Amino acid sequence: MPWSPQWDFAGSVAASLATGDRLPTSVRPSACPGLLRIVPALDGGICRVKLPGGMLRSAQAQAIAEAARQHASGVLELTNRSNLQIRGVLPGQESTLIDALLGAELGPRVAAADDVRNLMLSPAAGLDPQARMDVRPLASQLLDLLQDTPVLHALSPKFALQLDGGEALAMREHPHDLWLTAEDDQYLLLGLAGCPFDAPLARVEATHTVTLVRELLLLFLELAIPEQSRMRQLLAQIPASELLQRLQTRLDFPLHPAPANWQTAATINRSPAGIYPQAQSGLCMVAAGAQLGRLHAEQLLTLADLSERLGDGELRLTPWQGVLLGNVPESASRELMAALGELGLLTHIDEPLLGLVACTGSAACARGLADSKHHALHLAELLRESGARPQVHLSACPRSCASARVQPYTLLASTPDHYQLYQRTPEAPGFGRLLAPAMTIDEAGVWFARQHPAGTPDA
């Protein structure tokens, strides 16, 4: 059977919610949406469903789609942490929506654990032929640790872990507070916020991983002051080497030095789309992007049906705001690709929208200066005409909600119709080097066409 954590919702969740924990603001003070905390936006409430390893069973997908149609706008967003958001939750429908999601086993075991279930895997975990280790069993143990250790519920809703098995279909530019990558099938390498994947800090046996993570998270909570909610903030005060020394005193096994000649696994540099080989004979993976990270409930219902007919009954959401179906018979792969294309998903690797990321913008966010979603669609039309295929993040404000990593190019809104253009460079912090202080989307289209003519590698 496909891997999936099994949670007992009939007991502890029901008991927790019966005490009033279901109210949107009662779980913990935060502006981040959750399943139990629906936050307002211009287009209605936002409910964020955290998925274990990005996995969504077909029955759960159907439940989300039906709930979104009945209690919200029907618009769904795929996030850059492989989670899913329901947008446009209707006034007075919050509790009914939450009940429907909990009934589909989409919530935490206890209400206070909803925020901390932040563990990202490759969508191809357990399937990718390049992987050094199948990390799914370990991921299940780490999710249990986060849920079942009450003191860890004090972690920030933004505090996140990443577990990398060496897959080719992996997002390694996404900054995480703590990450682990497989050296082989016996050992994992440890890194912390700001530490690149090719420069891990320590090496540990896989059998000791859960203890290592527990003690490291407890140590973080002991050392961090309230203003230090993320690992990078603590590391600004305490060097990583000192933090590891303190960690070692809490462990009854050694932290070994990371190999000096370590090279991270090769990875894709663009949002996946198409048919990919699978480790299991006769099977393959099929990936597609959602247009600017959005689906409608009807599309999700069809995806659930396709996963049952042509896959293994599961959808794997990706950190590129797309979806991957695994365990697809090779004989059915082209049929599935055609069906995804007819559904409106992005199935061709040359599609310019696969290189564009855009936040909700002024149409749905009070902080947004420009309608970034609309502008991204227009920019995609210009790129189709020119043949340029840059990777661009359109952000309606400096918060950069839509992209956790810095894209090669950023268009940052300065007025409703103008953007600043930045290019990522190793020397410049933030979005990178400012190339143009103000340009319209039409001007941006001309600039990208000139800098990236058809046939040249994208950036």
pLDDT bucket at 199, cuts 50 / 70 / 90: confident
> Which among 147, 173, 177 has a CA at the least distance from the CA of 160?
177
Residues 251 and 286 in one domain: no
Residue 24 has pLDDT above 90, yes or no: no
pLDDT bucket at 362, cuts 50 / 70 / 90: very high
- Cβ neighbours for 254, distance < 8 A, ≥ 6 positions apart: 248
Per-residue pLDDT of 41-90, as tens digits, reads 999 999 999 999 999 999 999 999 999 999 999 999 999 999 999 999 99
The answer to whether position 358 is within a domain reads yes
The top-scoring range by mean pLDDT among 17-21, 247-251, 401-405 is 247-251
Residue 8 has pLDDT above 80, yes or no: no
Q: For residue 30, give the H/E element and its range.
A: none
CB 98 within 8 A of CB 47: yes
Residues 311 and 361 in one domain: no
Residue 78: phi and psi, rounded to 5, are -95, 130
pLDDT bucket at 22, cuts 50 / 70 / 90: very low
Residue 28 has pLDDT above 60, yes or no: no
**Rounded to whole angstroms, how far apart are CA atoms 218 and 145?**
12
Residue 6 has pLDDT above 50, yes or no: no
Among 346, 364, 386, where does a domain finish? 346
> Which among 105, 222, 102 has a CA at the least distance from the CA of 152?
222
The answer to whether position 246 is within a domain reads yes
**Rounded to whole angstroms, how far apart are CA atoms 58 and 302?**
10
pLDDT (average), residues 345-371: 96
> Which among 176, 103, 177, 185 has a CA at the least distance from the CA of 137?
185
pLDDT (average), residues 337-362: 97
Residue 268 has pLDDT above 90, yes or no: no
What is the tally of structural domains in the chain? Answer: 3
The helix, strand and coil proportions of the chain, stated in percent and rounded to the nearest 5, come to: 35, 20, 45
> Which among 393, 401, 397 has a CA at the least distance from the CA of 366?
397
Residues 242 and 286 in one domain: no
CA dist 171 to 80, 284, 417, 419, 420, Å?
A: 10, 20, 32, 27, 26
CA dist 242 to 181, 219, 234, 239, Å?
A: 21, 12, 11, 5
131: domain range? 119-257
DSSP 301-322: HHHHHHHHHHSSSEEEEETTTE
CA dist 40 to 43, 251, 380, Å?
A: 8, 44, 29
Residues 227 and 341 in one domain: no
Instruction: Report the DSSP beta bridge partners of residue 328.
Output: 284
Residues 185 and 302 in one domain: no
The answer to whether position 96 is within a domain reads no
pLDDT (average), residues 133-147: 97
Among 346, 362, 387, where does a domain finish? 346
pLDDT bucket at 2, cuts 50 / 70 / 90: very low
Residues 237 and 291 in one domain: no
Per-residue pLDDT of 372-401, as tens digits, reads 999 999 999 999 999 999 999 999 999 988
Residue 420 has pLDDT above 60, yes or no: yes
pLDDT (average), residues 175-201: 91
Q: What is the pLDDT of residue 14?
A: 38
Structure tokens at 427: 């020397």
Residues 144 and 233 in one domain: yes
Residues 377 and 423 in one domain: yes
Residues 174 and 249 in one domain: yes
Structure tokens at 373: 């979603």
Residue 7 has pLDDT above 70, yes or no: no
pTM: 0.91
Residue carrying structure tokens 């190793």: 426
Q: What is the pLDDT of residue 458?
A: 59
Residues 283 and 397 in one domain: no
DSSP state of 167: -
Residue 263 has pLDDT above 90, yes or no: no
The answer to whether position 73 is within a domain reads no
The answer to whether position 381 is within a domain reads yes
Among 321, 346, 371, where does a domain finish? 346
pLDDT (average), residues 119-148: 97
CA 84 to chain centre: 9
Could you list the beta-strand ranges (E) of 111-239.
119-120, 161-164, 178-182, 187-192, 202-205
pLDDT (average), residues 221-237: 95
CATH number assigned to the domain comprising residue 299: 3.30.70.3340
CATH number assigned to the domain comprising residue 176: 3.30.413.10
Task: Output b/e per residue, 423-444; b: 16+ Cβ within 10 A.
Answer: bbeeeeeebbeeeeeebebeeb
The answer to whether position 111 is within a domain reads no
Residue 229 has pLDDT above 80, yes or no: yes
The answer to whether position 87 is within a domain reads no
Residues 125 and 170 in one domain: yes
The answer to whether position 359 is within a domain reads yes
User: How many Cβ atoms are within 10 Å of 340's Cβ, its own excluded?
Assistant: 24
Instruction: Report the DSSP beta bridge partners of residue 427.
Output: none
Residues 205 and 321 in one domain: no
Q: For residue 270, give the H/E element and its range.
A: none
